[in-house]
Chain A
């Protein structure tokens, strides 16, 4: 669908980058043509981010060369990368919430322009590429999808020849993803090259002309995604076949967790208020809460875990007992287990060993007696978790911060499951976790459900919710839709609910 002149826009040859503990990129070759949408695929930790930091001049390679439009270049800083014509849309946006769109863009551009002078240019670019953005609007009032548009517009103002998009759809509703794809195809049609970083196989097959797959820092294949199946792409990424079997439905039991008309105004002025939330989670079922972050997920979790008890109305009950006024320690004592979305620093103490981290929530599981820590019990418990959940680590004495994200997540999930919670609360269970670990985590949550626990999962990944949940509800702008059985829902229907209040209008 695109023209292909002779000199490719970007060629990487033999790029190698070594960090003290890992070989992040090992002799990587990559080629992006003019007007090509090229996918860079790989699991978390495969070396995608390092490679992109090298192209954008943030990091310098230890070996290898970079060719830009036929001539060899050294890219020593992001400013130099931008001068060549490389634009980058980061996964996590660096926008100032209290400033307007135009002010944010004026701050980020290399040229010096006033926000007022930029406003018409922003409008022009926004209109041309179908990216509705109001330059005067304050960023804190915008949804994540709208913020991403600001970042894209910021890049386009510099008329880049190569646009790097880092996991752009992880925060978008399905409809917003389609809209983004339309924009990217239009840009490619005008000759812009796009380097699209992702691990979502369906999207890559729908959007990209070609793909480079990384596994453990090396190129494991260069393919045309449209000629591949999800299974063959996954095999290139992971190195083995996978099967994620849908769980057998189970008859749910009594109500374990119940929210009745729960409303709360957060202390954080940019937080989302929770409005009249009704929810019940029964023994033996997994209920999923879908929605884009920033719609009250953080607040709902903090309200359920007891980490934030502010002024509220309505009630939360755990096994029939009112808990909304109780702190986190009490709720744990009554049988609440919790896996937070931040692993390091919240779910685990980074510098402490895994055995000391077992103690974090294990005081009631025999690890403390008469105020004395029983280190031997904590070590045994950590060893059992490591074995049961196949956590890759030196030993139970390894510091939590030395584990990869996926392995630490397996440890935290395992630690909480070993406490046999009556109600288990899990946030983003497989965020940044590799495919193998994600599967193990899913299976263990289903196992926990089959053992009679009530499980509540909050996730941005719709695929995940559809894989493990019995019922699914959507949290949008602090309101929760009524949970519906998975069998009666489609991904599109959930997507529409997600878009409902955020004005993410669907366009094909």
Chain B
């Protein structure tokens, strides 16, 4: 209200008439390039030879078949979580707790693996995977129930449940499920060889979970572009009033979004424990469930984009480990690169929809 001389800034953002479709696809690539340039500057600032560091970060991890296998191995849970989250995000349901659902998937699948694998015989592996999916979905059912019954925020509930899930896992592994011959480490017995996911090739660690993830990506594309159920979720996300007008149930939308994203995260969790880890232990994920949020957005919430973004994010993990070992940089460098990537992506997105213009000069001078 005060009568101060307000001056507009000399620039302003102007909405573009028609955002270019090419730029929309190019934006993640531009963001990746800007991330590399910033990485160059950071390594130089830290006193490391930048080109060597970037080589060590982005190229060296892929120099061997084993390295490529690691890339696919880490991309799988990222993409699985990201695919499920993206479906929810397009439906305006914000599941932030994929990490917790992943943990519950590991607990449920791992529990079946520990106690019933011999009774189930040939069916053991499918049942274990289904148990993982059911565990993740059940964990996501809590925010779904609270939101549809009491209108709570699924963002907060799903996030807080992450820590409960992790504590539940730690509780089981320090008590009933601890390996009696494990020297007191908080971990379970190693699973039977017969229920470990088969490897893609020998000489590396990626399993058939990777092609399974690719199949689910295709299924997810089919769901959102061909099924009426997917269309309803899209409408609920973009225009809730239009969904109410058309008679699409909000309750069903929330449940479906959380069941799908929870189930996918649960599958990611169980595939880790019956895959590369081979047992239950307290640290089963370096934050895949959280990184998958970035994966979902870097991938434009589109299945193909999410698979590519998961591969990129996986490379950031591998590169981070590589420079930790080779250049004695702290582990935080992985998170740093993830953050820089997301920051540039958001900036690039803004300029897809808007352009920066200098404000025109006043048409006439004041009298």
Instruction: Spell out A's residues near B (CB within 8 Å).
Output: 20-21, 60-66, 68, 71-74, 76-77, 79, 107, 109-110, 112, 305-307, 327-332, 338, 340, 342, 345-352, 356, 359-361, 363, 368, 371-373
Contact = CB atoms under 8 A, between A and B. Distances in A.
Contacts of A112: 1-2
Interface stretch (B14-22, B64-72, B270-278, B303-311): B14-22
B43 interface: no
A63 B363 contact: yes
Contact of A109 (B1, B227, B242): B1
Interface string B340-367: 0000000000000000000010111111
Contacts of B13: none
Contact of A371 (B3, B228, B235): B228
A51 to B, nearest CB: 14
Contacts of B234: 352
Contacts of B3: 79, 110
A72 B362 contact: no
A329 B229 contact: no
Nearest to B7: A76
A346 B242 contact: yes
A307 B244 contact: yes
A259 B367 CA distance: 64
Given A20-B17, A360-B246, A371 B229 contact: yes
Contact of A60 (B226, B363, B366): B363
Contacts of A373: 226-228, 231
A338 B244 CA distance: 12
Given A349-B235, A349-B239, A20 B364 contact: no
7 shortest A-B CB distances, which residue pairs?
A: A329-B247, A328-B247, A20-B17, A346-B241, A71-B367, A349-B239, A368-B228
Contact of B363 (A64, A79, A331, A356): A64
Nearest to B363: A61
Interface in B204-259: 226-229, 231, 234-235, 238-239, 241-242, 244-249
12 contacts: A60-B363, A61-B363, A73-B364, A110-B1, A307-B244, A327-B247, A328-B246, A329-B247, A345-B239, A352-B235, A372-B227, A373-B228
A195 B235 CA distance: 42
Interface residues of B, number: 33
Contacts of A63: 363
A297 B126 CA distance: 56
B235 A72 contact: no
B245 A350 contact: no
B360 A360 contact: no
Interface string B8-44: 1000001111000000000000000000000000000
Contacts of A109: 1
Given A327-B247, A371-B229, 16 more contacts: A20-B14, A20-B16, A62-B363, A64-B363, A68-B367, A328-B246, A329-B246, A329-B247, A332-B247, A347-B245, A350-B238, A360-B245, A361-B246, A373-B227, A373-B228, A373-B231
Contacts of A360: 235, 242, 245-246
Point out which of B247, B360, B365, B367 has the most chain A C-beta atoms below 10 A from its C-beta: B247
B150 interface: no
A20 B357 CA distance: 12
B250 to A, nearest CB: 11
B6 interface: yes
Contacts of A65: 363-364
Contacts of A346: 239, 241-242, 244-245
Contacts of A329: 246-249
A72 B367 contact: yes
Contacts of B227: 371-373
B15 A20 contact: yes
Interface of B: 1-3, 6, 8, 14-17, 226-229, 231, 234-235, 238-239, 241-242, 244-249, 360, 362-367
A74 B366 contact: yes
Contacts of A342: 241
Contacts of A74: 362-366
Nearest to B230: A373
A328 B245 contact: yes
Nearest to B240: A345
B363 A338 contact: no
Contacts of A305: 245
Point out which of A71, A331, A348, A349 has the most chain B C-beta atoms below 10 A from its C-beta: A349
A469 B318 CA distance: 71
Nearest to A306: B247
A306 B247 CA distance: 8
Contacts of A372: 226-228
A68 B364 CA distance: 12
B249 A327 contact: yes
A338 B245 contact: yes
A371 B231 CA distance: 10
A313 to B, nearest CB: 23
Contact of A345 (B8, B16, B242, B364): B242
Contacts of A62: 360, 363
B227 to A, nearest CB: 6
Contacts of B1: 107, 109-110, 112
Nearest to A307: B244
A328 B232 CA distance: 14
Nearest to B235: A349
A104 B365 CA distance: 34
B70 to A, nearest CB: 39
A73 B362 CA distance: 10
Contacts of A64: 363
A73 B367 CA distance: 5
Given A73-B366, A74-B365, A350-B238, A359 B231 contact: yes
Contact of B362 (A68, A76, A349): A76
Contacts of A330: 247
A367 to B, nearest CB: 8
Contact of B244 (A76, A77, A328): A328
Contacts of B362: 60, 74, 76
A389 to B, nearest CB: 19
Point out which of B228, B234, B238 has the most chain A C-beta atoms below 10 A from its C-beta: B228
Contacts of A371: 227-229
A193 B249 CA distance: 53
A356 B228 CA distance: 11
Contacts of A349: 235, 238-239, 242
Contacts of B364: 65-66, 72-74
A349 to B, nearest CB: 4
Nearest to A73: B367
B6 A340 contact: no
Contact of B231 (A61, A327, A348, A356): A356
B224 to A, nearest CB: 10
Point out which of A107, A109, A331, A371 has the most chain B C-beta atoms below 10 A from its C-beta: A371
Nearest to A402: B18
A66 B363 CA distance: 9
A349 B360 CA distance: 34
Contacts of A331: 247
Contacts of A338: 245
Nearest to B244: A307
Given A21-B17, A345-B239, A307 B226 contact: no
A114 B360 CA distance: 38
